[in-house]
Structure 1
């Protein structure tokens, strides 16, 4: 499994961040390649299923995902349920006080509004080797391996873009977002 983690600080309370991230259909607004997110069933909690339509180059694909667990306001787990072994989570870590307890009123690293930042992280794990070549209707003379080789590096850019744009909307303004990015593969 390849792993990618993109994290940063956001100046909003953990409950607000969690509720924002639970509204998955809005993600199409943050992604260059995700065209539409349709809720198939559910309200964002465990068992909620989505159809995610991606478009890149001459390829269009609809992935199926499911929310597999939630731990409000700190975690939303999900998995792709069709054509590839992939999953991940959104993790929200409340700010810590000087005594180490979580508290969104700490002003140590506060923004001008007085809110301490919490950390938000998008964690993704996937096995490119599990991708099904039958899942795509490719143009003639285009190999599935070529598409994978070109598309996998885009995952990192997309993850960074989604986190940056989510922070912008949560904070209500644009700023330079300092992202921490961890990858365990040279493919990403």
Structure 2
């Protein structure tokens, strides 16, 4: 299985982040290629099914997904239910002992702080009165070899393998875009969102 994980920090309450991410229909606003998300069944909990309409180049495709498990406010698991072996999850982890609650003295020499600490303080200054940051991760696993060639109606002279070679590398960029834009909406800001990306794949 190929694996992709995109992590970042959010200055919002974990419960609010979880509720926000549970609404799959909003994801189309953050993606370049996802045009629409339609709820087929359920209310966001386990068993909820969605139809996700994608469009890229001359190819359109509707994926079907199902929520397989939830643990508020910590995680939402889902899987793709046809045409490819793929699943993923959102993880929300409260930060403790960091940021404004770290107990650092006001007289600390800022010249000795790491670049990461300085960035945290800049974000803190724009989020006074807001809860400490939590960490959010979008984790995806998929097997490109399991993709069904019957899933797409392709133009003449275009091979399924060619489409896979072109489309799979877009997954990382799409995941980063979704996480980044979701964080900005959650925070109500336009700050630069720093992403920590892990990839275990020769294709992504």
- Aligning the two structures, in what range does the TM-score lie when normalised by the shorter sequence? over 0.9
- Flag structure 1 segments of 5+ consecutive residues without an equivalent: 99-104
User: For residues 133-187 of structure 1, what are the alpha-carbon distances to aligned partners after superposition, in whole Å with 9 as ceiling and x for unaligned?
Assistant: 0000000000000000000000000000000000000000111111000001121
Out of 159, 169, 175, the position equivalent to 1:159 is 175
Equivalent residue of 2:176, what SS? helix
Name the one with the larger helix percent.
2
* Counterparts of residues 93-172 of structure 1 (less than 5 Å): 93-97=93-97, 107-108=101-102, 109=120, 111-112=124-125, 113-114=128-129, 115-172=131-188
Structure 1 residue aligned with 2:111: none
In structure 2, the partner of 1:176 is 192
- The residue aligned with 1:40 is 40
CA distance in 1, matches of 2:43, 2:138: 20
Provide TM-score, normalisation by structure 2. Answer: 0.86
Match of 1:101 in 2: none
DSSP-derived class of the 2:168 partner:
helix
Size of the aligned set, in residue pairs, is: 182
Structure 2 Cα separation of the partners of residues 141 and 133 of structure 1: 14
Structure 1 stretches (4+) deviating beyond 3 angstroms?
A: 105-110
1:37, 1:71 → 2: CA distance?
A: 22
Partner of 1:68: 68
Q: TM-score under structure 1 normalisation?
A: 0.94
Quick one: distance in 1 between partners of 2:66 and 2:97?
35
Q: Counterparts of 2:37 and 2:90 in 1: how far apart (Å)?
A: 17
Q: 1:106 to 1:41 in 2, by over 3 A?
A: farther
**Distance of 2:46 and 2:100 partners within structure 1:** 32
Partner of 2:4: 4
> Quick check: which has more Rg, 1 or 2?
2
> 2:169 is paired with a residue of what secondary structure?
helix
Find the aligned partners of 1:83 and 1:53 in 2 and give their Cα distance. 14
Q: Which runs of 5+ in 2 are unaligned?
A: 103-119
Partner residue, 1:55: 55
Per the TM alignment, residue 106 of structure 1 is displaced from its structure 2 partner at its CA by 5.5
